[in-house]
Structure 1
C-alpha cells in the first residue's frame, strides 16, 4: 500500500483467498484492505497514538439516517458524556478532497453535531472547528488532543 502522510504504525495483516485484510482494533476484526481502509486505519492510529483519544470513545463505520437516506460515517470520536467530539471522513489517496467532500461531512454533522471535523485522503488532512450556532466551520491547522 501507498505511504501516507501519517506517522508509521504497526498493523496486523492476513491473506485469505488472495485478499489481504488488516486488523481493525476498534471493530476487533479483520477487514478487507482497500485504499480507503488503509487511510482509515492510519487515521484511527493517529487519533489514538498522537491525539490520545481513548479507543473506547472511537466508533467506525456506523449507519446514520439523513433525510431518509442511509449513510455510513467513517470515524466518530465521542466525548465521555456521549456527545460527539469529532467526525472524520476518509477517502482513498487517489481521491481529491473537494468541496463535495466537505459538503458530505457537513450533511452528516447536521445530525451528529460534532465539535470538530477532519477530512483526509491520507496525503492531505483538513481540520475544522464547528460553529453550530452560525452553521459554519472554521479551518484549523490541527485538531485538539483528547482532554477530559
Structure 2
C-alpha cells in the first residue's frame, strides 16, 4: 500500500471481528474519508461523555463495543448511530435542536426569528411579553 494515499484521520482501516474470533489475524480493509463522522458529530460525542460523567476508560469501552473503534475519529456513520443510541439510553439528551431549530443554512438565526416575531406582534398590536416599552404603556 502506498503510504502517501492513506486517509487523513484515524487508522484508515476497519478490522473484521470474525477473523479475530477465529484466532487469525484480522484482514485490513482500507476505507474512504467519506465514511468518517464529521467534527460536529465528534463534538456531540464529547458533550455526551461530559454530560453523562463518563471517565475516559468507560468512554473508550463504549466506543469499542458499540462503535467498533478505539477513538471517535475512527467512527463510521453506523458506529456513530449505535454509540449515540447507547448514550441516549443512558440518559443523554442533546439540546442542540431545541434552540437552533437544527442546522439550517441560509435561514434566519434564532435571534433573527425572535426579532421577526417581536415585529409581527407589534404589527398586529399584540403585547410582547419581552418588550417592556409596550407593556408599560398599556399599564398607564
Q: Same fold (TM over 0.5)?
A: no
Higher normalized contact order (CA 8 Å, seq sep 6+, divided by chain length): 1
Bigger Rg, which one: 2
Structure richer in helix, relative to its length = 2
